[in-house]
Amino acid sequence: MRSVLVTGGTRGIGLGIARGFAEAGDRVVVCGRDEARAREAARGLPGAAEWVVGDVSRADDCARVVAEAVRRTGGLDVLCANAGVFPSSPLTSMSQDELDEVIDTNLKGTVLTVRAAVEPLAASGRGRVVITSSITGPLTGYAGWSHYGATKAAQLGFMRSAALELAPRGITVNAVLPGNVRTEGLAELGEDYLERMRSAIPLGRIGEVDDIASACLFLSGPGASFITGQTLVVDGGQVLPADGWAFEPRVPG
Ligand SMILES: NC(=O)c1ccc[n+]([C@@H]2O[C@H](COP(=O)([O-])OP(=O)(O)OC[C@H]3O[C@@H](n4cnc5c(N)ncnc54)[C@H](OP(=O)(O)O)[C@@H]3O)[C@@H](O)[C@H]2O)c1
């Protein structure tokens, strides 16, 4: 049984990741900013899941959340740095506040959470970090999400150096790159968006949170103990087509 902290584990992908670990028999702590949502999320998980309220963009919150997770579960073996926001904002009308919120949550939040977790993860002797990045930024672009894409690509720059820095302490640091995954946050983008995305995915469906949970379980499991600084794309093949015709084989003549 391992101790697992999932930031942004109170809904969407993070809650799916938390459920995956809880169903595997691990002790899970979920973190988010909304207390009622965090309490409800933990209550719905199998086993004795715990919740802690915290804002990953604040260094003091990250330190407190990690300390609470360690106190309640007896240590920390796995950190899933998943908390993130994805408001759309065209470049020409993007306010500094919108830019700051996305950078503070997605990029600084990842760095601050991992930094706060280093000592307990090292003490575990088998520390694992799995960062939730995205295909948007590292592999693709999307009009309206330039700030978001920048943070998701930056998470990988951070991951590679952190993986090197933490390797001597037995900690691996990897990232999952989800495509479009059915979550409360994605639903807020509307049915039209979901349908357009579904038609762009070669496997013909929007991803489910379980698809991302399995990737996190793999990257933090014994089968991945020699993998660090790497990315795992989980997108139903969405980034594969070279153009709109790539779905159909061309018949000669
Ligand atoms: N859904 C997709 O298709 C998709 C695709 C690629 C990547 N991703 C990435 O996957 C992650 C989760 O996305 P999602 O779709 O599951 O989002 P979501 O449904 O909106 O859930 C986001 C979670 O993060 C928490 N959160 C947000 N800001 C936080 C902060 N400052 N501090 C602590 N917790 C915070 C939220 O709780 P509170 O609001 O209570 O704080 C909630 O638990 C994000 O990093 C996102 O970029 C999602």
Q: Specify whether the CB–CB gap between 69 and 9 falls below 8 A.
A: no
> What would the pLDDT profile of 30-58 be if each residue is shown by its tens digit?
999 999 999 999 999 999 899 999 999 99
Ligand 1 site, residue 178, Cβ cutoff 6 A: yes
Q: What crossing angle do the helices spanning 209-219 and 12-23 adopt, rounded to 10°?
A: 50
Q: Is the beta carbon of 7 within 6 A of some atom in ligand 1?
A: yes
CA of 83 to the centre of ligand 1 (A): 5
For residue 46, the model assigns a pLDDT of: 94
Active site residues: 148
Tell me what the mean pLDDT of segment 109-130 comes to.
98
* Top-confidence range, 181-185, 192-196, 223-227: 223-227
Separation of 225 CA from ligand 1 center, angstroms?
27
At residue 170, does pLDDT exceed 80? Answer: yes
Ligand 1 pocket: which of 56, 85, 208 to mutate (most atoms within 8 A of CB):
85
- Taking the centre of ligand 1 as the mean of its atom positions, its distance from the CA of residue 8, in whole angstroms, is 5
Q: What are phi and psi of 46, to 5 degrees?
A: -70, 155
The minimum-distance atom of ligand 1 relative to the CA of 148 is 47
Contact criterion met (CB below 8 Å) for 212 and 236: no
| The predicted structure's pLDDT at residue 48 | 86
Any atom of ligand 1 within 6 Å of the Cβ of 57 = yes
For the chain, what is the mean pLDDT?
A: 96
Query: Is residue 194 very low, low, confident or very high in pLDDT (cuts 50, 70, 90)?
Result: confident
Q: Is the pLDDT of residue 220 over 80?
A: yes
Beta bridge partners of 173: 129
In order of start, what are the domains of the chain with their CATH numbers? 3-234 (3.40.50.720)
pLDDT at residue 58, rounded to an integer: 98
Name the β-bridge partners of 187.
none
